[in-house]
Amino acid sequence: MTMRKPLVAANWKMNGSDALARELTAALATVNLVNVDVLVCPPATLLHTLASTEQCLLGAQNLSQYTSGAYTGELSASLLTEAGVRFVLVGHSERRTLFAESDLVLAEKMQQAIAHGLTPVYCIGENLQQRQQEKTGQVLAKQLAAVYASHPEFIAKSVIAYEPVWAIGTGEAATPEQAQQAHAEVRQQLAQYDSKAAATVRILYGGSVNSKNATELFGQPDIDGGLVGGASLNAEEFLHICQSAKG
């Protein structure tokens, strides 16, 4: 059996504060999480606050598909690495839907991240209508193929986050069985491109993860941690979630 170190990631979205960043790092310093990687993805204005901490890894919520240039408001991979960022979210459902980011754009962002030494957390997931129509596998396969069919070597340099869109911010999490089924399917689909990398890549569950459901979710064989939204804005709650992940 392949051992994968759990990863628990906080996605603060357009929330948080300097005070919360300091509160969270202080809370993380009180526990021994040597067997768990903890990642925090704050708004870009708070990256500097977390850049020097040893309590967590630092991630960005987005990056540009361009290397540099006249793209007002955008942040390139090189600017993020210079700011101390090591991970970056790519393809979160809110970026796909609210900002109309296409599979092509997301593939370009993945290329930028990996070319500059960042580890992309590639987010995939189906909406409620697609699940009801039993198209989950088809949707996930398309989203994975958009990146990995042409670049199978990217699998070993990525983290995958399965986030059913219908469970994000709704309080309705997938059952552990539903989540495990989707994670296993993702791993099987990745194995078509690179079986060795598919066995070792970390696949996170995202979608209303909290301290009450984290232990059961993280206990599933193909779930290697979580991408946590709202619950990560409470330092104590997030700490409990991190402690639920077992190395």
Read off the tokens for 148.
Answer: 């990995």
- Alpha-carbon distance of 96 to 6, in angstroms, equals 26
Residue numbers in the known binding site are 11-13, 169, 208, 229-230
Q: Is 163 a catalytic residue?
A: yes
Residue from 94, 101, 126, 163 carrying the catalytic annotation = 163
Read off the tokens for 22.
Answer: 């300091």
Rg (CA), the chain: 17
Question: Which residues, at least 6 apart from 30, have a Cβ–Cβ distance to it below 8 Å?
Answer: none
Residue from 54, 92, 116, 216 carrying the catalytic annotation = 92
- Alpha-carbon distance of 63 to 76, in angstroms, equals 6
- Alpha-carbon distance of 136 to 162, in angstroms, equals 11
- Alpha-carbon distance of 70 to 86, in angstroms, equals 24
Residue numbers in the known binding site for substrate are 11-13, 169, 208, 229-230
Catalytic annotation, residues:
92, 163
